Structure 1
Amino acid sequence: MVVDPLSGSLWMEYDPGPARPALEGAAEAEVAVVGGGVAGLCTAWELARAGHRVVLLEADRIATGVTGHTTAKLSALHGRVYAEVRSVHGARAARLYAHSQQLAVERVAEVSEELGIDCDLERLPAFTYTEDPGQVDALRAEADAALEAGLPASFTTRTPLPFPVAGAVRLEGQAQFHPRKYLLGLAADLERLGGRIHERTRVTRLREGSPCRLTTDRGATVDARHVVVATHYPVFDRSLLFTRLEPKRELVVAGPVPADLDPGGVFLTEEGGTRSVRTAPTGDPGRRLLVVTGEKFTPGTAEEGEVGERYARLERWARERFGPLEVTHRWATQDNWTTDRVPYVGRLHPGARHVYVATGFAGWGMSGGVMAGALLAARVRGREPAWTSLYDPVRLRPLREVPAMLRLQAQVAKHFVGDRAPGAYADSVAEVRPGQGAVVRVGGRLLAVHRDEAGGLHAVSARCTHLGCVVHFNDGERAWECPCHGSRFDVSGRVLEGPATRPLERERVEDAADGVDDVNGPQGGGAGDAGAA
């Protein structure tokens, strides 16, 4: 199954508003924020509101990447996180995590009301559920841990879902909303406050100092006292966070259902590769849009046809539980998991005095990004909220993190070595079928070759421009993906998602079918990730 490339994120249908100019020449600011997703925009807005001169740089359009492809559940109930945080970090840390995440939920409600942003915000309960009786004790423990952390959580065996569950954790006072409506409203207010936003501006270099200097791919510069790197996956990694981050990709399908099938909550189970459920308004009071997420996998590891099969499984699951469903939207989202389940928000590295980072939200980027904006704005202003040390990226807890780090690096080493092994690729360009892609060894070089539906070839270097892993083709989304750190590129080599900041180099190949040299057309320079800056 090849997914219709014209279907996409529900949120991306919203008018993006006026384009902001790319940065030219030299600029100065008190704070420069790299990345225009939820964490970057919230940080920039909080600082501008506090009176700071802020410039925000985004490689594509603001709120179009991960933020534009989220499911936009706004909750402090993050699966089974509280029992794990309590076990790894202690009871106080679990309380700080709960308080900071719930404050983020309330912050969106407060700000949207204050600024008059109509972002389809709906307050409702959140559930983490199981259909497996063998997992009930674990969910009881999670409910106890969340309650101990200060949240009004409870265990229940009944939910509003139209199918039975064995047990669930219920948390009142959570929300769902339209992320782009909220963030574009925030961006407009940021500019009203004097902040500057530059789109189509890819940052490629950071020099720390007094001031710090950012340099873009077009040679423009920004000098700033403070820099915030909010690029989803850090494009500058001087504390080796890539050894402690694991990228995961999830698929999303959506379609209209009768309003009486709306369960009136946000739901998650970690079973079956994860299943997440919410709804959204359609403009018709008799219909709601059912949004289902799941089928988690590591980018760059899917076999041919696997992504399409995963979409099909997700659709079958939705129809089995909610009845007939005409899927009108398909998209995918990506996030990074830390080795101890807590995001990295704070100093970029141990010696950093003026450079901060936000990453590792583990699929909860809405509350995490809003929390990060408030935390980083406070840090820049010389304040330290009670949860500063909990999220500090330079923390390292060997008993918990070292085994996970070794596992991640073993996976990376496997791709560095194994993906270059003879026989791991197509033997010739002629083997690449229309609509497909493969890595082909040509004259000692590894080329990533895609043949479009019309038979034309698109060839680029198969080595990721981040750290050199060999990319793999995702035929469900028609993109090249790096299995090491999650960078993604379109078939012409353009960066779709970081940490890579440079496109894959174009290559020329001979098509044995017609004896003609084929090469890509012109490459774009933008990115498809809000924060892949």
Structure 2
Amino acid sequence: MIQRDASTTSLWQANIEPFQPTLMADHTTTYDVIIAGGGITGLSTALLLQEAGKRCLLLEANNIGFGTTGGTTAHLNTIPDTSYDQITKNFSKEDAGLVRESVGAAIGLIQQNIERFSIDCGFDYTDAYLFAQDEQQTEALESIAKSAREQGINITMQDQLPVPFQFTKAYKITDQARLNPLAYIYGLARAFEQAGGVIVQHCRVMQIHNTTHIKVATSLGEFTGMNIVYATHVPPGINLVHLRCIPYRSYALAVRLADNAYPASLIYDMHEPYHYFRTQDVNGKKYLIAGGEDHQTGHQENTEQCFRNLEAFVREHFNVKSVDYKWSSQFYESADGLPYIGNLPGQPDNVYVATGFGGNGMVYSGVAAMLIRNIIMGKHRATEKLFDPSRIKPVAGFTNFVTHNADVVKLFFGKLLPAHKLTELAELAPGEAQVVNYEGHRVAMFKDEEGMLHAVNPVCTHMKCEVGWNSAERSWDCPCHGARFDADGKVLNTPADRDLEQLDISHDVKPVEVEEQGEV
């Protein structure tokens, strides 16, 4: 099993062993492109650039697949969450057509990679069903279907569903797909190395200095490159895309069915947030994968309830034998519904970003890989303008803003906190966490199952928002820009690039009260 940015375990991570790189990075080499992030976006981009003749280095802060790629439900759609009618309203009908072409090409790229490199990842084309259950949903569904049909998508009205749901109207969309995401990116990683690319795991990018070349400071020393691509959801530090992306958590279950009635298709309802279902064979077992219950990161007080709600919904409609896996994952919604792919605003032309994929990271990862490859190779396309992160004008003084990674004041540096006093303040049970006031300061505390307290400064090291506890994943989550930290304050998700300050706790015994005896 591999590690992921969560305490829950996904179906994918539980059924794969850690990737072992075969090539060593060279600190004296100037790489053409350094890619930060070992998920599907980073590996897809790295492989395309390496095969285009660029010398590439991929740096992953943990193990490849640690982030959302290890927690996705891996639907491959030609109808994105931001529908074509909405894209037409926000941009134009021509731009909606560009999105349609791009996502279709992205699925084609995945199929091509699987065939070229013989990647065994359970890839399969299948139909998708989208259905409404009331008048308002039906009206929205009709608009989605009409605009999809105008873009040449084969979408047809149906009088039956392959799942036991009541509906007012339903449509079938052909040529959708599914796969095992970690098995796929392992195939990309091997192909990348065979092409001469280098992967370094457990190497966090801390800071870059852009002079003649880019000097990339990491936890394993400095590397030099001509270009850098942030394939990390959102880049570390402070920049414009953080102000234009909203982080969300989404929840998933992998269940076994008692009646073996696994749907062969992808299924979506029209609730807000919507539910989604599909089937996948993993190591000879079939699983129904269900997802939903999305909410903004750090805005849900009881995240365990999200799992309970999702499980109750699944059990209401399917004959569940066992819930084998449950997990949550993070994604980012852009301000206008389309991803930001291209030059990172406020940075020189050789610094790139790919973010804001919403719930369509599987396909937009391919869109990003092809677009960034083309930009770096000097092959300009119409999609370059459409997905340009600078399509929203930077705020005044942004150049100075983006280069300044604000330091959080060290409120407790050198101070030893008494465990017995904090315990009295928080009254925590094992497995619980809370932010409390202590002598005019805020302290984020978690009590583990052994009764030991873990305390950190709750001020997020990104932009000084206060973190909140995620009980489902046992993490401190920032409600502002989605940075996440484990119970000891270690970074799990960017944009934070520094850990929360750990606070020293004296695990002492509470003093026994005695009568005053005068001076000694």
Q: Do Structure 1 and Structure 2 share a fold, with TM-score over 0.5? A: yes
The residue number in structure 1 matching 2:429 is 433
The residue number in structure 2 matching 1:161 is 163
The residue number in structure 1 matching 2:308 is 312
Distance 2:288 2:320 in 1: 11
C-alpha contact (below 8 Å) 1:235/1:499 kept by paired residues:
yes
How far apart are 1:363 and its partner, in Å?
1.1
Q: Which moved more, 1:440-449 or 1:367-376?
A: 440-449
C-alpha contact (below 8 Å) 1:157/1:166 kept by paired residues:
no
CA shift in 2, pair 1:375/1:258, >3 Å: farther
Distance 2:175 2:59 in 1: 34
How far apart are 1:6 and its partner, in Å?
7.2
Distance 1:436 1:487 in 2: 20
Distance 2:246 2:166 in 1: 33
Alignment pair present for 1:250 and 2:246: no
Alignment pair present for 1:179 and 2:181: yes
The residue number in structure 2 matching 1:394 is 390
CA shift in 2, pair 1:169/1:236, >3 Å: farther
Alignment pair present for 1:115 and 2:117: yes
The letter of the residue matching 1:204 is M
Distance 2:362 2:43 in 1: 12
Alignment of structure 1 residues 67-466 onto 2, 5 Å: 67-79=69-81, 81-218=83-220, 220-238=221-239, 240-257=240-257, 260-284=260-284, 288-303=286-301, 306-349=302-345, 352-396=348-392, 428-466=424-462
How far apart are 1:443 and its partner, in Å?
2.5
Distance 2:379 2:490 in 1: 39
How far apart are 1:390 and its partner, in Å?
1.2
Distance 1:339 1:427 in 2: 42
Alignment of structure 1 residues 467-506 onto 2, 5 Å: 467-506=463-502
Alignment length (residue pairs): 480
Distance 1:23 1:442 in 2: 46
The letter of the residue matching 1:141 is S
CA shift in 2, pair 1:19/1:491, >3 Å: farther
The letter of the residue matching 1:434 is P
RMSD: 2.3
CA shift in 2, pair 1:212/1:157, >3 Å: farther
Q: Which has the higher contact order (CA 8 A, sep 6+)?
A: 1
CA shift in 2, pair 1:160/1:282, >3 Å: same
The letter of the residue matching 2:481 is H
Distance 2:351 2:209 in 1: 10
The residue number in structure 1 matching 2:415 is none
How far apart are 1:187 and its partner, in Å?
0.6
CA shift in 2, pair 1:7/1:231, >3 Å: closer
How far apart are 1:386 and its partner, in Å?
2.7
Q: Which moved more, 1:228-237 or 1:183-192?
A: 228-237
Distance 2:90 2:378 in 1: 28
The letter of the residue matching 1:291 is I
Distance 1:151 1:326 in 2: 37
C-alpha contact (below 8 Å) 2:253/2:325 kept by paired residues:
yes
Distance 2:286 2:144 in 1: 31
C-alpha contact (below 8 Å) 2:234/2:241 kept by paired residues:
no
C-alpha contact (below 8 Å) 1:251/1:295 kept by paired residues:
yes
Distance 2:210 2:330 in 1: 29
Structure number with greater Rg is 2
How far apart are 1:157 and its partner, in Å?
4.5
SS in 1 for 2:94: helix
C-alpha contact (below 8 Å) 1:128/1:169 kept by paired residues:
yes
The letter of the residue matching 2:293 is E
How far apart are 1:19 and its partner, in Å?
5.0
CA shift in 2, pair 1:91/1:430, >3 Å: closer
CA shift in 2, pair 1:102/1:349, >3 Å: same
Residues 53-100 of structure 1: CA deviation (Å, up to 9, x unaligned): 000111001122111000011111223521110111010011100110
Distance 2:170 2:321 in 1: 25
TM-score (norm 1): 0.85
Distance 2:17 2:193 in 1: 18
SS in 2 for 1:500: coil
The residue number in structure 1 matching 2:412 is none
TM-score (norm 2): 0.87
Distance 1:429 1:280 in 2: 47
Distance 2:307 2:208 in 1: 39
Q: Gapped runs of 5+ residues in structure 1?
A: 402-425, 517-533
SS in 1 for 2:445: strand
C-alpha contact (below 8 Å) 2:485/2:493 kept by paired residues:
yes
The letter of the residue matching 2:431 is G
C-alpha contact (below 8 Å) 2:7/2:474 kept by paired residues:
no
Distance 1:14 1:471 in 2: 32
How far apart are 1:156 and its partner, in Å?
3.5
The letter of the residue matching 1:187 is A
Distance 2:480 2:492 in 1: 16
Distance 1:465 1:283 in 2: 41
